[in-house]
A and B are shown apart, each in its own frame.
Chain A
Amino acid sequence: MATATYPPPPPFYRLYKDYNVNPKSIPEPPPPIEGTYVCFGGNYNTDDVLPSLEEQGVRQLYPKEPNVDFKKELRSLSRELQLHILELADVLVERPSQYARRVEDISLIFKNLHHLLNSFRPHQARATLIHVLELQIQRRKQAVEDIKRQREEVQKLPKEALGTLAGQ
């Protein structure tokens, strides 16, 4: 049925017939999927992880330890890139038939640069979360202060009113 040209809609609508009469008789929504799932014939994964360079068959030029110094590696990769561009210019002048190796090196450096930048994204996500939490704490503290101030003012008012009435 799923592969017909114009498949009919799924028959689940019959289960919700009595929603007006009894809202509790309908089935609950299905729980969220975990792991791999198939969607329109394609396999997808809920665990989104950046595949490492070796898995894509690309040599990794920067060190592989858990905490890499991003700035230093980015700068050294950028300098390598400029050097390779100059080498390519030289090769094209002197030995034009040997451009392929240099072009391969340049594309390797670009792949490493992009992979390094992408691997920085989880760090950015956590930093954003920290920033949002700090903002929320600040706003809540501000709200607590405002409420305290208003309560004090409200408690002053009847006393003042009483005083004014008693003075009359």
Chain B
Amino acid sequence: MDIISQLQEQVNQIAGLTFNTFGTLQRDAPSARLSQNYPEPPPNPTEDAASFPEQPKQMSVALVKAAKQFDALVAALPLSEGGEEAQLKRIAELQAENDAVGQELQRQLEAAERELKLVQELFGQTTDNCLNLKKPD
């Protein structure tokens, strides 16, 4: 995949990780004590409580890794000679060179075709002479 598409995919991945992180944490967080007037909230069932402290760490590690990969992709951008005008000038130069080389190729091809015809004719004559057993001059 080309690098801009990779960058776009990486941005979307960071967005996905972000909302997954916040959504999961909001959904699974144990209840907090709002004020001294209310009693302590009931503790969570053990399944959540066991793995819960690990989740923020893992998710933040994933977020930071995704951000670092984005930076690495940005560094890998082949940003050559800035400017639209420079690129358009280079395209014009390359087109001119391409035309010149194309014409040279065309000339060589025509010359080669002519020589091929000549050789074929000579070969035909030679074989005719051979078949008719004519002596060479």
Contacts and interface: CB of A to CB of B under 8 A. Distances in A.
A150 B111 CA distance: 12
Nearest to A125: B87
A75 B74 contact: yes
Interface residues of B, number: 44
Interface of B: 2, 4, 7-8, 11, 14-15, 18, 22, 26, 63, 67, 70-71, 74-75, 77-80, 82-84, 87-88, 90-91, 94-95, 97-98, 101-102, 104-105, 108-109, 111-112, 115-116, 119, 122, 136
21 contacts: A66-B84, A69-B82, A70-B77, A78-B67, A82-B63, A85-B63, A92-B26, A113-B11, A117-B4, A122-B84, A123-B84, A124-B4, A126-B84, A130-B87, A133-B95, A136-B98, A137-B98, A140-B101, A143-B105, A158-B122, A165-B136
Interface of A: 66-67, 69-71, 74-75, 78, 81-82, 85, 88-89, 92, 106, 110, 113-114, 117, 120-124, 126-127, 129-130, 133-134, 136-137, 140-141, 143-144, 147-148, 150-151, 154-155, 158, 165
